[in-house]
Amino acid sequence: MKRANVNRIITVTANPAIDMTYTVHGITEGSSHRVPTPLSRAGGKGINVARVTHQLGYPVLAIAPTGGAAGQTLAAELWTSGVPHTLVGVAAETRRSIALVDTVAGETSIFNEEGQALLPDDWRSLRIAIVEAVSGNRNLPASVLVGSGSLPPGAPADFYPELVRLAHDAGIPAIIDTSGPGIIAAAKAGADILKPNHHELAEATGESSLEAAALALIDMGARTVLVSAGAEGMLAFDHAAPGGYWSARLPEALSGNPTGAGDAGVAAAAVALAEGITEPREILRRATAWSAAAVLMPAAGEISPRYQELQDHLILTWKETR
């Protein structure tokens, strides 16, 4: 199902991975476990965003550097899945990420490899691919640029700010979902949407109060900040309404695999912007529902068909900042 009148969403994943999801019927520490064959697919946060966007029929292009045997596996899986992509060949071996889903405890443990450093020429090639996708294709114009995930060691400090500048030079919005100093840099560059979780937000800003931390990013230059806040659901802070924020949550928490829930939320925000929706409350509504729908799926990069039903049951509240 292809959506009409929506230009292409571009996602950038500088540190992609082969995502391997193991389902374990109870984990006993220090013991051996017999498990079914894991679900293995191309991953990394931006690729997950692209996969969800593609699942729902919106035009998308996933850009990522890949290398080594794992990189070949990632490329083959993307071809099989049908997710449109541009892969930049690099010398560094593509990393792996392992999720252990304990169906007894209802918990998921994730083990992420760091990734290997890219060469200066690799970063230049990646930038060329991004520029061409954002501004070089008149037949497939871009509507939103999404930069997601961690960066490999030695990455340029201005990588995410540069994505914001490239997007704005092309007249399109930029969404950044990362952690650490990258959040601060993207805020100062004027990212249209930042999407940290509450732990990443506190770590990046040094603020103990979630409200103070989000408003600090707004003060730095971010236009909207969407925060995944665990049991509280998701919150939306916007530069145009500094006196408060929107909160969205389901009446009851869902059980399942939360891996990729944040990526589904980013996909929802990107689709909303691509459709011309800029009202924070509506973006929050979609992002929260899509995130919840991702929890119901076995692996990252897809959402349950129940996303519309979940959206209809959300509790949205306007809260004044203290």
Place of tokens 């993207």: 186
Is residue 2, in this structure, part of any structural domain at all? Answer: no
- Is 263 a known active-site residue? yes
Is residue 56, in this structure, part of any structural domain at all? Answer: yes
Question: Which is more confidently placed, 30 or 87?
Answer: 87
Amino acid (1-letter code) at residue 297: M
Q: Are 10 and 61 in contact (CB under 8 A)?
A: yes
19, 192, 238, 263: the catalytic one is 263
Is residue 257, in this structure, part of any structural domain at all? Answer: yes
| Paired residues of 224 in beta bridges | 193, 238
Place of tokens 């924070």: 280
Q: Is the pTM of this model over 0.95?
A: no
Structural domain total, the chain? 1
Is residue 26, in this structure, part of any structural domain at all? Answer: no
Is residue 27, in this structure, part of any structural domain at all? Answer: no
Those residues with Cβ within 8 angstroms of residue 137's Cβ, 6 or more apart along the chain or in another chain: none
Is residue 166, in this structure, part of any structural domain at all? Answer: yes
Is residue 104, in this structure, part of any structural domain at all? Answer: no
How far apart (Å, rounded) are the C-alpha atoms in residues 143 and 100?
36
272-313 tens-digit pLDDT: 999 999 999 999 999 999 999 999 998 888 999 999 999 999
252 exposed, middle or buried (CB, 10 Å; 0-12, 13-18, 19+)? exposed
Looking up residue 144, the CATH number of its domain turns out to be: 3.40.1190.20
Is residue 259, in this structure, part of any structural domain at all? Answer: yes
36: three-class secondary structure by DSSP: coil
50-97 tens-digit pLDDT: 999 999 999 999 999 999 999 999 999 999 999 999 999 999 999 998
Q: Give 3-state DSSP helix, strand, coil % of the chain, rounded to 5.
A: 35, 25, 40
Element (H, E) at 111: strand 107-112
- Residue 3: pLDDT band by 50, 70, 90 thresholds? low
Structural domain of 311: 8-16+44-93+115-320
Return the number of other C-beta atoms located less than 10 Å from residue 105's C-beta. 11
Residue 5: its pLDDT value, please? 72
